Amino acid sequence: MIVAGTRADLAAARDSMVGRVGVVLTMGALHEGHAALLDAARSGAEHVVVTIFVNPLQFGPHEDFDRYPRTLEDDLQMCRAGGVDLVFTPDRGEVYPDGEPGVRVDPGPLGGQLEGASRPGFFHGVLTVVLKLLHLTRPHAAYFGEKDYQQLVLVRRMVRDLDVPVQITGVPTVREPDGLARSSRNRYLSPAERQAALTLPRTLREGAAAAAGAGVDGALAAARRVFDGTAEAKLDYLVLTAPDLAPVDGAYRGPGRLLGAAWVGGTRLIDNVPVQVSGSPAALG
């Protein structure tokens, strides 16, 4: 496995690859969720490239950039075990040689909603670094987790709108045995907070179960009830949308996505599940 810290070393290693290349973009602190992306990349491509870069552009001034976990040796070990051919581990100056970029990708209206409403400028930062890393690694395919569902939808949209020649594949969310979505930020949680964090996946499960029969409004009401009386976890947003994140009204029937964000202590967690929305026979009649 080649570890490249510079663009020049990355380009040289990439040039030597013959055949289909798959890339997994990460901020490190790799876990089983990332491992699922590596598996998907390995089955879809002949060469697997991983990037590890904590992107300063997507962190707000009061967010966790400085304390974001950095575990490079363990990450490289996981990449080795995952059959990765090339890991790009640039520092800030390698990705942004001229300092903060003046030109950034505009994520459009969806970029200001949900995560973008809570974190202004977040998706400008995400899409800008994703586009740069796609240009630098030149993959045929790129693999993104459904865990960050809005990111996945916006990356698909960027690739379509800007004609980026890469195939985007979404990979289902990997969870802990008790249902918590795996995340690099879970390690911030104290044991009590770890327990309280389960409110979020429980909310989504209840909502998804209610969506089949009780419609959009019934699903949201059932989901919100889980958060009632839970002082340790505070709901930021909870929405039910179409699979492409377009808004739906109470009459909507069909496939959808239920997405939520919550604060547990000082940690912000996000999660989402697919739902199938149907009304009760009485409601439909």
Region from 1-9, 96-104, 181-189, 196-204 binding ligand AMP, contact rule CB under 6 A: 181-189
User: Binding to ligand AMP by residue 200, rule CB under 6 A?
Assistant: no
User: With binding defined as CB under 6 A, does residue 171 bind ligand AMP?
Assistant: yes
Nearer to ligand AMP, 153 or 235 (CB): 153
The one segment of 143-151, 205-213, 218-226, 249-257 that binds ligand AMP by CB under 6 A = 143-151
CB nearer ligand AMP, residue 21 or residue 181: 181
199 belongs to the binding site for ligand AMP (CB under 6 A) = no
Among 4, 10, 23, 36, binds ligand AMP (CB under 6 A): 36
Handedness of CA 214, 216, 217, 220 (dihedral sign): positive
Residues in 235-274 at the binding interface with ligand AMP, rule: CB under 6 A = none
220 binds ligand AMP (CB under 6 A): no
Among 184, 186, 267, 272, binds ligand AMP (CB under 6 A): 184
In the beta sheet, which residues pair with residue 255?
276
Q: Please tell me whether residue 148 binds ligand AMP under the rule CB under 6 A.
A: yes
Please list the active-site residues: 34
- Those residues with Cβ within 8 angstroms of residue 103's Cβ, 6 or more apart along the chain or in another chain: none
Rule CB under 6 A: say whether 174 interacts with ligand AMP.
Answer: yes
Q: Are the C-beta atoms of residues 181 and 159 closer than 8 Å to each other?
A: no
Task: Choose the stretch contacting ligand AMP; rule: CB under 6 A; options: 106-114, 142-150, 247-255, 264-272.
Answer: 142-150
User: Whole-angstrom Cα distance, residue 13 to residue 131?
Assistant: 20
Exactly one of 4, 21, 22, 26 binds ligand AMP (CB under 6 A); which one? 26
Q: What angle do CA 276, 263, 70 make, to 5 degrees?
A: 100
Point out which span in 140-148, 197-205, 219-227, 239-247 binds ligand AMP (CB under 6 A). 140-148
Among 4, 10, 34, 203, binds ligand AMP (CB under 6 A): 34
182 binds ligand AMP (CB under 6 A): yes
Residue 173 lies near ligand AMP (rule: CB under 6 A):
yes
Instruction: By CB under 6 A, name the binding residues for ligand AMP.
Output: 26-27, 33-34, 36-37, 144-145, 147-148, 171, 173-174, 181-184
